[in-house]
């Protein structure tokens, strides 16, 4: 990797359009990935040490209804036969991967079961999903197994069953405590459902309990947000995740905006950043520690290990329709329809849609970006790993961001200031290589 190949990563300031994708989930961006059916695993060099940990993501694409702002891949009201066929396909995918040399015998460090709405499944279906995967890729000793829940799905016997199946961390999708805002944005639960759900989760006794919030929902006022935050803190979750509402293409919210059918104006990014900044101050005053640009935790024990593993370059295997992976220095994504996903597996093929094999420069920038999203970069560790000091490689860009108050540099690390933390996804595209800057 030459210095010149990275020194060009100094593009113009990123803008914050009112609509479209705002968050930076990974690097290089998805638009750069190639479409083909050949497995990058088959091209990878020799096997990793059997002790190298692996994170696992499992996608459950079923929902009771679709939120207006949601662009996750999901199916509404699927019949039992469709669900069961899908669960069998995920088990088959796990079996195929377990035979690959990059997967065999590796310990699973963390598991994240997301969606969609995983809690839309019955207990028997969840048992079928987990046991089907664990037959090939066991994780019985894993201390962090996250399961996403919708408030209305939380019932005592259901949560007790989850705990017995090995779930250690529950993430409750609350978004807001304002019933009018919830309805306006396509949510089907009420604040009362959240209160009942939180009480039940606490009584069942999971190791960790997270609440997801969204700031800047359509129609939200400063008072609405302050009230939601106060009521969340009163419930005392172990961690709180705050997402700033974006308007992704393909969502109902985006269509309403394009057709000029919104009942009120969108909340601006400037206002959303300000509300998050104030929220972080409030959370710190309540005893929480800010753990990333999106989360606050009560103690280090509640830090999401799944996120930390990915940010430091750990391998991630995604199972299920449209799931993303990072494995063997390659990104890849599964087929995005149930039909194509299951069809490939029936033929004993991995259901791959697109992939991108990263070079050393890509990997350095990827880890740099993902660590910035967590609030700090261990530059000494990256230099040791890749043989290049990212501070020197990005010197002009970093100095400019430091002068503008977005970050602070030291000998071995870079730390985002609060100003940088609340708008980190606006800063990240500045580090993209020129060929990816307009994707």
pLDDT digits (tens, 9 = 90+) for 241-284: 999 999 999 899 999 999 999 999 999 999 999 999 999 999 99
Residues whose CB is less than 8 angstroms from the CB of residue 221 and which lie 6 or more positions away in sequence, other chains included:
none
Average pLDDT over residues 424-435: 94
Q: Could you tell me if 98 and 104 are in contact, meaning their C-beta atoms sit under 8 angstroms apart?
A: yes
- Asked whether residue 227 falls in the same domain as residue 290, the answer is yes
pLDDT exceeds 50 at position 4: no
Nearest to 184 by CA among 232, 274, 252: 252
What does the pLDDT look like over 253-265, one tens digit per residue?
Answer: 999 999 999 999 9
- Asked whether residue 39 falls in the same domain as residue 20, the answer is no
What does the pLDDT look like over 46-78, one tens digit per residue?
Answer: 555 667 899 999 999 999 888 888 887 788 888
Length of the chain in terms of residues written: 439
The residues with which 212 forms a beta bridge, in sequence order, are 173, 241
Is residue 352 one of the residues assigned to a domain? no
CA torsion through residues 123, 171, 372, 312, sign: negative
- Asked whether residue 160 falls in the same domain as residue 209, the answer is yes
CA torsion through residues 42, 44, 48, 52, sign: negative
pLDDT exceeds 70 at position 29: yes
Task: Label residue 38 by pLDDT band (50, 70, 90).
Answer: low
Distance separating alpha carbons of residues 371 and 366, to the nearest angstrom: 9
- For residue 344, the 8-state DSSP code is H
**Beta strand pairing status for 289-290 and 34-35?**
unpaired
Name the helix (H) or strand (E) containing 223: helix 222-235
Is residue 411 one of the residues assigned to a domain? yes
In the sheet that holds 413-416, the strands lie side by side as 376-378, 413-416, 407-409
**Structure token digits, residue 329:** 């220095």
Domain end marker among 308, 328, 349: 308
Task: Label residue 1 by pLDDT band (50, 70, 90).
Answer: very low
- Asked whether residue 239 falls in the same domain as residue 380, the answer is no
Q: What is the per-residue pLDDT for 328? A: 82
Q: Which of 356-365 are b and which e, b meaning 16 or more Cβ less than 10 Å from the residue's Cβ?
A: bebebbbbbb
Supply the CATH number for residue 107's domain: 3.80.30.20
Residues whose CB is less than 8 angstroms from the CB of residue 208 and which lie 6 or more positions away in sequence, other chains included:
144, 168, 169, 170, 238, 239, 301, 302
> Tokens 């009018």 sit at which residue?
180
Domain end marker among 243, 276, 308: 308
Cis peptide before 172 (omega within 30 of 0): no
What does the pLDDT look like over 146-166, one tens digit per residue?
Answer: 999 999 999 999 999 999 999
Q: Could you tell me if 181 and 191 are in contact, meaning their C-beta atoms sit under 8 angstroms apart?
A: no
Supply the CATH number for residue 437's domain: 1.10.10.920
Distance of CA 182 to the CA centre of its chain: 22
- Asked whether residue 92 falls in the same domain as residue 176, the answer is yes
Average pLDDT over residues 6-11: 42
Is residue 57 one of the residues assigned to a domain? yes
Is residue 256 one of the residues assigned to a domain? yes
- Asked whether residue 176 falls in the same domain as residue 291, the answer is yes
Q: Could you tell me if 217 and 225 are in contact, meaning their C-beta atoms sit under 8 angstroms apart?
A: no
Domain end marker among 273, 308, 343: 308
- Asked whether residue 182 falls in the same domain as residue 203, the answer is yes
- Asked whether residue 257 falls in the same domain as residue 300, the answer is yes
Is residue 156 one of the residues assigned to a domain? yes
431: containing domain = 1-28+360-439
Nearest to 373 by CA among 292, 297, 259, 310: 292
Q: Please tell me the total count of domains within the chain.
A: 2
Is residue 355 one of the residues assigned to a domain? no
**Beta strand pairing status for 62-63 and 330-334?**
unpaired
pLDDT exceeds 60 at position 37: no
What does the pLDDT look like over 88-118, one tens digit per residue?
Answer: 999 999 999 999 888 888 899 999 999 999 9
Is residue 279 one of the residues assigned to a domain? yes
pTM for the model: 0.94
> Tokens 């290589």 sit at which residue?
433
What does the pLDDT look like over 116-148, one tens digit per residue?
Answer: 999 999 999 999 999 999 999 999 889 999 999
- Asked whether residue 7 falls in the same domain as residue 44, the answer is no
- Asked whether residue 72 falls in the same domain as residue 115, the answer is yes
Is 7 strand, coil or helix?
helix
- Asked whether residue 77 falls in the same domain as residue 139, the answer is yes
Task: Say what percent of the chain tops pLDDT 70.
Answer: 93
Residues whose CB is less than 8 angstroms from the CB of residue 347 and which lie 6 or more positions away in sequence, other chains included:
none
Is 325 strand, coil or helix?
strand
Is residue 192 one of the residues assigned to a domain? yes
- Asked whether residue 138 falls in the same domain as residue 244, the answer is yes
């Amino acid at each position: 990797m030459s210095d010149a190949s990275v020194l060009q990563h100094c593009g113009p300031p990123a803008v914050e359009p009112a609509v479209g994708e705002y968050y930076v989930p990974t690097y290089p961006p998805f638009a750069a990935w190639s479409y083909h059916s050949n497995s990058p695993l088959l091209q990878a060099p020799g096997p990793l040490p059997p002790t190298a940990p692996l994170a696992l993501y499992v996608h459950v694409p079923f929902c009771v209804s679709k939120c207006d702002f949601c662009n996750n891949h999901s199916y509404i009201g699927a019949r039992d036969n469709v669900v069961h066929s899908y669960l069998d396909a995920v088990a088959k995918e796990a079996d195929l991967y377990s035979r690959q040399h990059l997967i065999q015998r590796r310990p699973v460090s963390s598991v994240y079961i997301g969606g969609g709405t995983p809690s839309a499944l019955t207990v028997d279906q969840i048992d079928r999903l987990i046991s089907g995967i664990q037959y090939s890729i066991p994780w019985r000793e894993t201390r962090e197994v996250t399961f996403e829940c919708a408030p209305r799905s939380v019932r005592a016997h259901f949560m007790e069953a989850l705990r017995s199946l090995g779930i250690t961390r529950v993430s409750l999708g609350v978004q807001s405590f304002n019933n009018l805002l919830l309805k306006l944005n396509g949510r089907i639960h009420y604040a009362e459902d959240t209160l009942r759900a939180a009480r039940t989760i606490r009584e069942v006794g999971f190791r960790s309990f997270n609440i997801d919030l969204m700031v800047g929902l359509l129609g939200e006022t400063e008072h609405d947000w302050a009230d939601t935050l106060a009521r969340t803190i009163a419930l005392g979750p172990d961690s709180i995740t705050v997402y700033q509402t974006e308007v992704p293409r393909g969502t109902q919210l985006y269509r309403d905006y394009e057709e000029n059918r919104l009942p009120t104006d969108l909340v601006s990014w400037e206002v959303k950043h300000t509300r998050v900044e104030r929220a972080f101050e409030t959370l710190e005053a309540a005893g929480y520690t800010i753990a990333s640009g999106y989360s606050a935790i009560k103690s280090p024990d509640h830090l999401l290990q799944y996120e930390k593993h990915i940010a430091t370059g750990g391998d991630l295997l995604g199972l299920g329709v449209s799931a993303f992976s990072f494995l063997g220095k390659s990104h890849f994504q599964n087929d995005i329809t149930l039909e194509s996903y299951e069809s490939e597996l029936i033929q004993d093929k991995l259901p791959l849609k697109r992939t991108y094999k990263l070079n050393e420069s890509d990997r350095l920038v990827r880890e740099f970006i993902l660590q910035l999203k967590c609030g700090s970069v261990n530059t000494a560790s990256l230099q040791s790993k890749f043989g290049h000091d990212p501070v020197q490689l990005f010197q002009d860009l970093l100095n400019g961001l430091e002068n503008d108050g977005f970050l602070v540099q030291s000998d071995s690390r870079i730390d985002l200031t609060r100003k940088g933390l609340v708008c980190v996804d606006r800063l990240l595209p500045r580090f993209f290589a020129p060929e990816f800057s307009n994707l």
